[in-house]
Amino acid sequence: MKDMIAERGTRMQRFLALLLAGLLWMNASHAQTIGAEADGTTLTAFLEGITADTYVVPEGVVTLEGNEDCEIGTLVLPSTLTGGYLNAFYDSTIVRYEVAEGNTALQAIDGVLFSEDGKTLLAYPNAAEATHYTVPAGVIRIAERAFANNIYLQSVSLPMGL
């Protein structure tokens, strides 16, 4: 009996987390879906057609997948995001990235998305209007398609050792 009550409480917590994430998600004009893995513990966000100056992905979302046709000025990624971000917005326009404090996988430096340790440049915003970018010293890897779809960028300076 005690195990049944504990299981019911756990399911209720998962439901409330999904409900809260859904309510927090209503901060822009868009279509979105937040789904959970079969075990109910991993929240995945699927976005489509978002138009916003700033869009905050809610805390609790762990992966972003299948996002397309979004036009976002600043995309704020939650501290809970750990996967699915490398190509998550390949078919969208993003001007800059920000990462919530406490994220153990990511950081943003001057609007550009990096691994938490700063050694991998993950994504340069495809709608950033700068014509030149200097990759910071200490970067040892650039992710595939990190600079994809940016029509403004004309040159990139790389640090020694890259």
The pLDDT assigned to 37 comes to 57
* Residue 128 domain boundaries: 2-157
The pLDDT assigned to 152 comes to 96
126 domain-assigned:
yes
pLDDT tens string 38-89: 555 556 666 677 788 998 888 888 887 766 778 889 999 999 988 776 666 7
127 domain-assigned:
yes
Q: Domain tally for the chain? A: 1
Contact 38, 58 (CB under 8 A): no
What are the backbone dihedrals phi and psi of residue 84, each rounded to the nearest 5 degrees, phi first? Answer: 70, 25
pLDDT tens string 106-140: 999 999 999 999 999 999 999 999 999 999 999 99
162 domain-assigned:
no
The pLDDT assigned to 64 comes to 77
